[in-house]
């Protein structure tokens, strides 16, 4: 799993309501302005992180620095100041060389850009990227294009693999979690959950026609309360811990992942089933609700109900290279049975 904590900021030099609103709609993480009067007006538009002088979620030139790079000595100043707070990098001639130099020495750098093309360059520099971009434009089309560039550049990719089903066993009643999201999920999208802290099974969402019930395109219904679930920023949680407005990852068969918001976590007693599957002669287990509407994902992206799952059937899963402690990856020896 790859950590994608990159930031998309928008700089409001004037109060252009249309441009600021479009930036908010484009999921900008923060609005930056150097005028307190503008910051006051932004707070009337939406609840969003505002970075401004004297007022805001963070104070500009205190909690967030600004430095204009005009010569090599300015780069040395950025490095000397350290990386503990974000630094907005402005360039006199918009060259990418100062960013390349800084990326080799420090981090927490937010590169100012004025176009989607500049944003793409900042987000692919040296294969490391700036830690974020700060877009400075009132051009609505550039705001939209920059968001798509940012979304593509920070797309989380999780390489799924095939696993072979080797056994199925009914389990008596247990507490099951059903995750209802605040998003309409596409038919081929699923969530990653697992018994172990180092591998994850892709469970299909309920956007599937069934003779037993109508589709629930916002729902993934499967796990016992003890299971782990994949969350943004390379974190995991127990299913039991999920609450309204938490975020979890959903993944499509092309391995692209993004976060969705949890609307509710329904915990109910249901009959369960233990699935055993093998990868390279090593066996793993997962416990899901025993119901026709619970589906895993075949290699071609299509769903297969666990009640119809045959021995020898292949399903998709994801493996990590480290164990976890309190949802964070750790390098230690852990035995799970």
Indicate whether 102 belongs to any domain. yes
Domain end point (choices 103, 137, 154): 154
35 lies in the same domain as 127: yes
In DSSP terms, 297 is beta-bridged to: 303
> Taking a C-beta distance cutoff of 8 angstroms, is the pair 315, 297 a contact?
yes
Q: Is 130 exposed, middle or buried (0-12, 13-18, 19+ CB in 10 A)?
A: buried
Q: What is the pTM of this model?
A: 0.72
With a cut of 90, say whether residue 174 has pLDDT above it.
yes
Q: Are strands 49-52 and 30-32 parallel, antiparallel or unpaired?
A: parallel
Tell me, what's the pLDDT at 240? 94
192 lies in the same domain as 254: yes
Domain end point (choices 154, 188, 205): 154
Which H, E and C letters describe 7-57, residue by residue? EEEEECCCCCHHHHHHHHHCCCCEEECCCHHHHHHHHHHCCCEEEECCCCC
184 lies in the same domain as 313: yes
Is residue 55 very low, low, confident or very high in pLDDT (cuts 50, 70, 90)? confident
**Strands, DSSP E only, in 280-327?**
282-289, 295-297, 303-305, 314-319, 323-325
Indicate whether 336 belongs to any domain. no
Structural tokens at position 120 = 């793409």
Element (H, E) at 149: helix 140-153
Say how far apart CA 46 and CA 33 lie, in whole Å.
15
The CATH number covering residue 130 comes to 3.20.20.70
Structural tokens at position 222 = 């499967």
Compute the average pLDDT of residues 94-107: 77
147 lies in the same domain as 176: no
216 lies in the same domain as 285: yes
Read off the pLDDT of residues 123-173 as tens digits, 9 standing for 90 and up: 876 556 788 999 999 999 999 999 999 988 887 888 888 999 999 999 989
Compute the average pLDDT of residues 315-319: 85
Pick from 205-209, 292-296, 330-334: least confident: 330-334
214 lies in the same domain as 305: yes
Pick from 21-30, 82-91, 246-255, 319-328: least confident: 319-328
Say how far apart CA 210 and CA 294 lie, in whole Å.
11
Residue 134 lies in domain: 7-154
Highest mean predicted confidence (pLDDT) among 168-172, 190-194, 331-335: 168-172
Ramachandran angles phi, psi of 43, nearest 5°: -65, -20
Q: DSSP label at 255?
A: -
Structural domains in the chain (count):
2
């Amino acid at each position: 799993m790859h950590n994608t904590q990159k930031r998309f900021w928008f700089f409001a030099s004037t109060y252009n309501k249309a441009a600021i609103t479009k930036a908010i709609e484009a999921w900008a993480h923060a609005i930056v302005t150097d005028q307190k009067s503008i910051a006051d007006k932004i707070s009337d538009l939406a609840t969003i992180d505002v970075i401004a002088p004297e007022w805001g979620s963070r104070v500009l030139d205190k909690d967030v620095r600004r430095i204009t790079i005009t010569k090599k000595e300015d780069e040395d100043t950025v490095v000397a100041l350290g990386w503990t707070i974000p630094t907005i990098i402005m360039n006199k001639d918009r060259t990418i060389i100062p960013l390349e130099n800084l990326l080799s020495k420090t981090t927490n750098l937010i590169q100012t850009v004025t176009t989607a093309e500049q944003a793409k360059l900042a987000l692919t520099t040296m294969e490391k990227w700036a830690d974020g971009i700060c877009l400075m434009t009132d051009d609505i089309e550039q705001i939209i294009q920059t968001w798509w560039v940012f979304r593509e550049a920070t797309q989380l990719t999780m390489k799924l693999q095939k696993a072979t089903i080797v056994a199925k066993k009914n389990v008596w009643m247990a507490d099951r979690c059903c995750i209802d999201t605040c998003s309409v999920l596409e038919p081929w999208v699923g969530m990653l959950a697992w018994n172990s802290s180092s591998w994850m099974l892709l469970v299909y969402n309920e956007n599937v026609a069934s003779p037993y019930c109508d589709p629930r395109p916002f729902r993934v219904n499967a796990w016992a309360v003890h299971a782990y679930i994949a969350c943004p920023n390379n974190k995991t949680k127990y299913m039991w811990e999920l609450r309204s407005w938490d975020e979890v990852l959903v993944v499509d068969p092309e391995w692209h992942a993004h976060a969705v918001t949890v609307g509710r976590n329904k915990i109910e007693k249901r009959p369960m089933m233990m699935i055993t599957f093998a990868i390279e002669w090593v066996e793993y287990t997962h416990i899901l609700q025993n119901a026709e509407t619970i589906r895993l994902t075949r290699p071609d992206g299509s769903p297969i109900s666990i009640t119809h799952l045959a021995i020898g059937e292949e399903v998709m899963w994801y493996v990590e290279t480290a164990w976890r402690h309190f949802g964070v990856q750790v390098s230690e020896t852990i035995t799970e049975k």
